[in-house]
Amino acid sequence: MLREAGRQGVLPFATFWSRIGRFKTPYGPVLLKWGLAVLLIILAPAQDTVVFLIDLASYPALVFSLLIGCGVWILRRRRQQLGLPEHAYRAPDFMALIYVVQSIALLIMPWIPPKDGSKGGDVGFFYATYCVVAVLLLLLCGLYYWVRVHALPQLQGYELVEETISLPGGVRTIVLKKVAKGQLADQEEPLLQGELGS
């Protein structure tokens, strides 16, 4: 996910996240995950901290699972509106519905208090702390995206334009280029054309 976010220009330093090595491995995301794992092993004390961090990593993954399930329906509707035929490898609608319902249930269940009260979870503090922190982190990421793509360009008088570049190894990635308003070339369109005003 880190590599794709970098390749699409969402993360800063797109070439770092997209670059692949000799064995077609994206070194940037792998090194980040390795470094975080080593820090977790070395620095985190046993019990509550490790359990909390594992729980914290799982909640945003559930949010993205729900978004993926909803995205299937959005893409199907768009294909239908464009008059395109159904994809050859298509999951049945009821399976997509089960996936979405399961994701919603898994997002709601951690908020339900355990039998032993607010401190009866698998950690010694409030049982849903990881849910609260995960939601705050997702909101912080959304705020970062809004500031980077909408607020800063408007305040500083530029537009973000996607530029595709090729990296060693044949990898193509997108970098966001700042262009002064009104100086766009004919072939370039601002990022999120049509959605900036809404």
Please give, one letter per residue, the 3-state secondary structure of 40-66: HHHHCCCCHHHHHHHHHHHHHHHHHHH
> What is the pTM (predicted TM-score) of this model?
0.69
Cα–Cα distance, 182 to 174 (Å, whole number): 22
Amino acid identity, position 51: V
Q: What is the pLDDT along the chain (198 residues), one digit of tens a residue?
A: 666 666 666 677 767 777 777 777 777 788 888 888 888 778 766 777 778 888 888 899 999 999 999 998 888 888 888 888 888 888 888 998 999 999 999 999 989 888 877 666 777 778 888 899 999 999 998 998 899 888 988 898 888 887 887 777 677 777 777 888 877 655 455 555 544 444
By C-alpha distance, which of 64, 60, 47 is closest to 131? 60
Cα–Cα distance, 148 to 127 (Å, whole number): 34
- Cβ atoms 59, 130 nearer than 8 A: yes
